[in-house]
Amino acid sequence: MNLCKLRSSKCAVFSGLAAPILILCGCSTVTVTTDYDPTASFADYRTYAIESSGGASTLSPNVDAALRSALHANLAARGIREVRVNNKPDLAVVAHAQLQQRQTLEQYPHWGYGVGGWPFGTGYYGTWIGEPYPTTKIQSYTEETLILDFVETSHQTLVFRGTVKTTVRNAKGAAENFGEAVEKIVAKIPTAPQSPLVAKQ
């Protein structure tokens, strides 16, 4: 796959990424970035199929279903319909997912009050002997990164990439966030056919 055609200064390094889109959903944050090949004929793409990345998927069934549903709805609205892989689609959509365990370190200083001089009301109160100074809190969380690659099948060339990062705490929240992220990614496809598909009766 030729990544050097993409709009960046180095092969496989997307230095010209658009400004990230932040989606705040409750306690979760989703970051979306996109990039594309400016020479690709996006108006000619009318069909797509979802293809496996070849590796073991880390996506939960709920997240996988949300992604497929969001791709189907949003690409259809742009005039790009889903077909089977053996029907020779114009685009192959390939999802690459990765889970990483991360930690955050939060430190709470004593603001200069000292062990026995915390103010309240008209006086001060002290702390117990041996109380930690300062207080440190470590939190662990899982970061999930999803890359959606849109590959022109006739030349097996990457033409569009969307990247999603989220620190959601549960599968339901991840499904909602990734579904919303797909909508943001598809909206960034440069020039897709503008007439939405109408289902046959």
Neighbours of 172 (CB within 10 A): 13
**The domain 21-187: what is its CATH number?**
3.30.160
pLDDT, average across residues 52-81: 86
Token pair, residue 117, equals 């001089």
Tell whether the model's pLDDT for residue 187 goes beyond 60.
Answer: yes
Query: In angstroms, rounded to a whole number, what is the distance separating the alpha carbons of residues 188 and 21?
Result: 11
Q: Which residues contact 104 (CB under 8 A, 6 or more apart)?
A: 138, 139, 141
Tell whether the model's pLDDT for residue 117 goes beyond 90.
Answer: no
Residue-level pLDDT at 138: 75
Q: Which amino acid is at 69?
A: S
For helices 171-187 and 61-77, give the axis angle rounded to 10 degrees: 20
Neighbours of 119 (CB within 10 A): 10
Q: Residues 119-173: pLDDT tens digits?
A: 777 777 766 666 656 667 777 767 778 899 999 999 999 999 999 887 766 666 6
